[in-house]
Amino acid sequence: MDEGMGEERDAREALKGKKRIVIKIGSSSLTHEETGDLNLGKIEKLVRMICDLRGTGREVVLVSSGAIAAGRQALGCEKPQTVARKQAFAAVGQARLMMVYQKLFAEYNQTAAQILMTKNTILDNTSRENAKNTFDELLALGAVPVVNENDTVSTYEIRFGDNDRLSAIVAALIHADLLVLLSDIDGLYSDDPRKNPNARFISQVDVLSDELMAMGRADAGSDVGTGGMAAKLHAARIATDSGSDMVIANANRVEILWDILAGKETGTLFTAHKSTDFELLDYIESVHG
């Protein structure tokens, strides 16, 4: 057996033992493409999957987009165009989205807890430590923290940010051993597969080279996924440097989470290589960078 293939299989096998997991899902994966309304069937399947993971003894944090979409649906308005309207929609939608999560988790005898974060949550030493302690306590109590950017007050995030990098920051903060980005793509390709039929799928990344990061920047204008590939590669750098494996996988079938944790060859795996001098604050610029 080829040595490289053996290492890939070993890395996939190691996913079976992951115990503290951060799952991120984007707005495009939580809403109906035709209307932009919340896809309750998809959300229910995701919640059921997370509850099953909790049943195996794993700790799970969910980073969920969708507040603005939920607000738009509740208010019966068109897609917001101004920052002020996006913030207003988020104020209505975050409460509505959390109500959906609370109800669905309760049906499976699980408790969801809301955590809203901004860049300053991480920049401020006291706030950062308080956030970590809150996560740790909630997980110890058996709750499922549901995290989102505080869109109502964080205007810069609405204009330029994304939850890919936020989820990586959370994974680093709580010392998660796996981050899963559920998106509308199968994983990382050598080129945009929609434009280049010869684009090669990349199953595993062990080194985030400058060439690879540059490929993400070239895709920065893409509308594939909420954050685009550049954001996902930045997330991979944060997660893997902090000691967490990361997988990008397609959210069309949320049961893919079981495939990932069964060590199956699905999505793109970025293997952890914890940096001995890792400092989370050094990576904050990449939150919006």
Distance separating alpha carbons of residues 176 and 4, to the nearest angstrom: 26
Per-residue pLDDT at 161: 59
The helix-helix angle for 163-173 and 228-242 (nearest 10°) equals: 0
Tell me the C-alpha distance between 36 and 249, whole Å.
21
**Rounded to whole angstroms, how far apart are CA atoms 220 and 230?**
6
Diameter of the chain by CA atoms? 58
- Shortest CA distance to 213 belongs to which of 201, 225, 205, 223? 205
Other CB atoms within a 10 A radius of the CB of residue 268 amount to 21
Which distant-in-sequence residues (6+ apart) come within 8 Å of 219 by Cβ?
192, 228, 229, 230
- CA 143, CA 61: separation in Å to the nearest integer? 9
Question: What is the topology classification, in CATH, of domain 3-288?
Answer: Carbamate kinase (3.40.1160)
Residues in the chain: 289
Distance CA 126, CA 196 (A): 48
Give the domain ranges of the chain.
3-288
Q: Nearest Cα to 65, choosing from 45, 39, 34?
A: 39
SS3 23: strand
Q: Please provide the DSSP assignment of 225-283 as one string.
A: SSSHHHHHHHHHHHHHHHT-EEEEEETTSTTHHHHHHTT-S-SEEE-----TT--GGGG
pTM score, whole prediction: 0.90
* pLDDT of amino acid 159: 44
CA angle centred on 151, ends 213 and 102, rounded to 5°: 105
Q: Are 203 and 5 within 8 A, CB to CB?
A: no
Q: What is the pLDDT of residue 226?
A: 38
- Which residues, given as ranges, of the chain have pLDDT below 50? 1-2, 157-160, 220-226, 289
CA–centroid distance for 277 within its chain: 24
Q: How far apart are the first and last CA of the chain?
A: 41
Q: Specify the pairing of strand 112-117 against strand 144-149.
A: parallel
Report yes or no: 272 and 253 within 8 Å, Cβ to Cβ.
no
User: How far does Cα 47 stand from its chain's mean position?
Assistant: 15
pLDDT digits (tens, 9 = 90+) for 104-141: 999 999 999 999 998 888 888 999 999 999 999 999 99
Opening angle at CA 20, ends 270 and 178, nearest 5: 5
C-beta atoms surrounding 17 within 10 Å = 10
pLDDT score for 158: 40
Count of alpha carbons within 13 Å of 227, Cβ hemisphere only? Answer: 31
